Structure 1
Amino acid sequence: MSILKLPDGRWFVDVEPIKGKRFRKRFKTKGEAQRFEASVRSKLASNPEWNPRPKDTRRLSQIIERWYELHGHAITSGRRRKNLLLGIAAKLGDPVAQAFSVSELVAFRKVELERGALPRSINVRYSYLKSVYTELRRLGDIDYVNPLDRLKPLKPQQAVVSFLSKAQVAVLVSALRAYTTFPHLALISEVCLATGARWTEAQRLTLPMIRGGAVVFANTKSKRVRSVPISADLQARLEAYFAKRNRFPSCREAFARMLKRCEIQLPRGQCTHVLRHTFASHFMMNGGNILALKEILGHSSLNMTMRYAHLSPEYLQDAVRLNPLYVFDTSSTPGLAA
C-alpha cells in the first residue's frame, strides 16, 4: 500500500510509480498524502525520460510513404521521388528505419559504383533518403536522430558541360523542322534552344503562357515563375500550333532518336538537357552577362550558373596579362615561343 497511517497520526506516502524511482514523504492529513501521490504519478507519466515512447518499428518503405503523405506530395516531382526512394528501400531489403545504419548504405553505394552508377546520381538519391528522416523529425513524426547524418557525399569529378556547336544546331533544327509527323518536336526543341528552358518546362507550355513576345514558365524546379523573350517568328509558330491543340504530347524518346539520326553523340544523361546547356553556352560565348543568364535559367544560386562562365570571351583574361611570362616577348626570346 502506498499510503499508510503512522502511530503518531500522520500519513506516510511510499510510492514507486516506475521501477527504480521511489518517493517517500510524511503529511499531516490523508488528503495531502493522496494529492502528493497523484502528482508524482502524473509527472512521471508525462516525462519521456521515465515514460519512453514505444520503439519505432516501421520499415524504411513505411516512413517513405509517411514522408510523402506529410510533405512529399507538395513538392515538385514528389511522386517520382517517392517511387525512386521505394526502389532503394526494396534493394536494401526494406530494413527497420530506426535501426538502419550508414554502414549499410555505404556498402550498397559501393555495389552501385561497381555497377556503373554515376557519383552525382548516387549523391542525389541518397540526399533524398536523408531528407526523409530530416523532414519527419522536423514534423515530430520520428523522435530519433537521423541515422544518415554522418553520411558524406561522394566527390565526383566535375564534368565539362557539353553543348552543340552552331553547325550541329543547324543540322538538328533542319531535321526537326522536316519531321512533319511530329511538329511539336521541333517547337519544344526550339523553345529550349531559344530560352534555356528545361525540356519538361517547354513541354508544359500552353497558349496562355505565350504572350507579349515572351514565354512564361510556371511550375518550375525552383518553384518560381519566370518570363523569357522569344522571337516573333517562334511566337507565331507556337500560337499557330496551340490554335489547333491544347498541349504538347510527350516526345522525349522521339527527340533521342532524332539525335542519333543526326549523328550527334552526347555524354550519358544529357539527351534533352543538352539544349539548355547549348543556350547557356552560346549566350556566354556571345558576350552575355552571367547574372542575366542566372535569371533566364531560373537558377536559385549563382554557383549553378558559374559552370558557363569560362565560356565568356573576357573570363579570366587577366591570367594572360598577369602571368610571370607576360613580360617577355615570345617572338624574340630564344626558346620561349617553343
Structure 2
Amino acid sequence: MTIKKIDKGWYVDIWPSGRSGKRYRKTLSTKGEAIRWKAWVIQQVTQNPDWEPPRKDRKHLSDCISIWFDGHGQHLKDSKSRLQILNKICAELGDPIAAELTPEQYTQYRAARANQVTSNTLNHDLAYLKAVYNELVKQGQLKANPLIHIKRIKIDEHELTFLTKNQIQLLIKHLKERRNKDALLITKLCLATGARWSEAEQITNQQIRPFSVRYTGTKSGRNRTIPITEELHSEIAHNRDNDRAFINSYDAFTAALVESGIKLPKGQRTHVLRHTFASPS
C-alpha cells in the first residue's frame, strides 16, 4: 500500500484486503490529505468488506434541467419560456457537470452578461437555476446547491410611470391609424380593467360578459371579474368568430407607441397601461 508524490499531487494506491481484494486509488493535493484518505478507506473496508467509495455524480447541467422539467417544471404556468431560458443558460455555461459548477464560475458568467441584459433579467436567471438545483437536492439527485450563497443584484426602485390624459388620447390616435385594430381594443381593455397585456390579449369571447370581463389563469393564479362600461363591451364583444377575442397585437402597440413619441422608462412599455389604471389621476 503506497503513497507517493507525482506531478498532480499525492497518489494513493492501496489493497486493504490484500491482492485478492479490491484496489483503491486516488490523487490528492497534499500528503496529509492522502494519509487521511488512506486511513479512512481502510476503516470503511474493515467495517464492510463490500464497501465502495461514493461515485462522482457525472450528471450534466442539461440532464438536471430535464429531470427538473419532467418532475416539476412542466407544471408551471411559464414552463415553456422557463425551459427555454434554462437551456440558454446551460449552453452559455458550456453544459458543465452540475455538481462541479462553482459560485465563481457562475458569477463570472453573470458579470459577462451585465452589459447585455438588465439586472432584473440576471436575477430571474439566477432564481430559475437555483430552483433547478434546489429541486434535485430535494429529490436526492444532487448533494448540494452550489449557487445557494450567490445573492441577487440589488436594484434601485424606479418611480412607476403612468400616462396623462393627453398622452392617452395621443396613443389612441396612433392606435386608430394601425391596420391591426385589436391593439386599440386591447389597450382600452387594459386601461379600463388594469389587466396585464398578456391577460387582455389572450382573453376569449366566453370571458367577455355583459358589462364585465373575467380573467382566468392570471400570473397570481387568481380569477377575477372586472366591470366594464356598456360602450367598451359593445366594442369588444364578439370581435371575432373564433374562441380568442383578439389576435396578437404587441408589435402593433409598440409601433403606435413609438410613433406617438411618448417616452417611457425601460421595461414599462405595455405595463404603463396597468400603472395608469391604478394611478389616482
Partner of 1:128: 128
Partner of 1:291: none
Q: Give distance in 1, aligned partners of 2:227 and 2:141.
A: 47
Residues 286-320 of structure 1 deviation map (CA, whole Å, 9 limit, x = unaligned): 4xxxxxxxxxxxxxxxxxxxxxxxxxxxxxxxxxx
Match status 1:90 vs 2:91: yes
CA contact (8 A) 2:163 2:276 kept: yes
Q: Give distance in 1, aligned partners of 2:53 and 2:152.
A: 34
Q: Structure 2 length normalisation: TM-score?
A: 0.79
Match status 1:187 vs 2:185: yes
Partner of 1:63: 64
Partner of 2:102: 101
Match status 1:112 vs 2:109: no
- Taking the TM superposition and a 5 Å limit, the aligned residue runs for 1:174-253 are 174-179=173-178, 181-242=179-240, 244-247=241-244, 248-253=246-251
Change (3 A) 1:106 1:236: same
1:54, CA displacement in angstroms?
A: 3.2
Amino acid across the alignment from 1:183? K
Give 5+ residue unaligned stretches, structure 2.
Answer: 1-20, 23-40
Q: Give distance in 1, aligned partners of 2:123 and 2:266.
A: 17
SS of equivalent residue, structure 2 residue 171:
helix
- Runs (4+) off by over 3 Å: 16-19, 50-54
Q: Give distance in 2, aligned partners of 1:232 and 1:51.
A: 75
Flag the structure with larger Rg: 1
CA contact (8 A) 2:174 2:257 kept: no
SS of equivalent residue, structure 1 residue 98:
helix
Q: Give distance in 2, aligned partners of 1:52 and 1:191.
A: 63
Q: Give distance in 2, aligned partners of 1:175 and 1:144.
A: 56
1:240, CA displacement in angstroms?
A: 3.6
1:73, CA displacement in angstroms?
A: 0.8
Counterpart of 2:46 (choices 19, 22, 26) is 22
Q: Give distance in 1, aligned partners of 2:55 and 2:222.
A: 42
Q: Identity percentage over the alignment?
A: 34
SS of equivalent residue, structure 1 residue 149:
coil
Give 5+ residue unaligned stretches, structure 1.
Answer: 1-15, 24-39, 287-338
Q: Give distance in 2, aligned partners of 1:66 and 1:153.
A: 25
Q: Give distance in 2, aligned partners of 1:120 and 1:106.
A: 15
Amino acid across the alignment from 1:22? T
Q: Give distance in 1, aligned partners of 2:149 and 2:224.
A: 37
Q: Give distance in 2, aligned partners of 1:125 and 1:135.
A: 16
Change (3 A) 1:194 1:200: same
Amino acid across the alignment from 1:152? K
Amino acid across the alignment from 2:118? L
Q: Give distance in 2, aligned partners of 1:55 and 1:213.
A: 63
Q: Give distance in 2, aligned partners of 1:215 and 1:170.
A: 23
Change (3 A) 1:172 1:90: same
CA contact (8 A) 2:210 2:233 kept: no
Number of residue pairs matched?
241
CA contact (8 A) 2:171 2:257 kept: yes
Q: Give distance in 1, aligned partners of 2:174 and 2:90.
A: 43
Amino acid across the alignment from 2:251? E
Q: Structure 1 length normalisation: TM-score?
A: 0.66
Q: Give distance in 2, aligned partners of 1:259 and 1:279.
A: 17
Q: Give distance in 2, aligned partners of 1:240 and 1:223.
A: 26
Counterpart of 2:258 (choices 260, 275, 282) is 260
Partner of 2:78: 77
Match status 1:166 vs 2:176: no
SS of equivalent residue, structure 1 residue 154:
coil
Amino acid across the alignment from 1:57? R
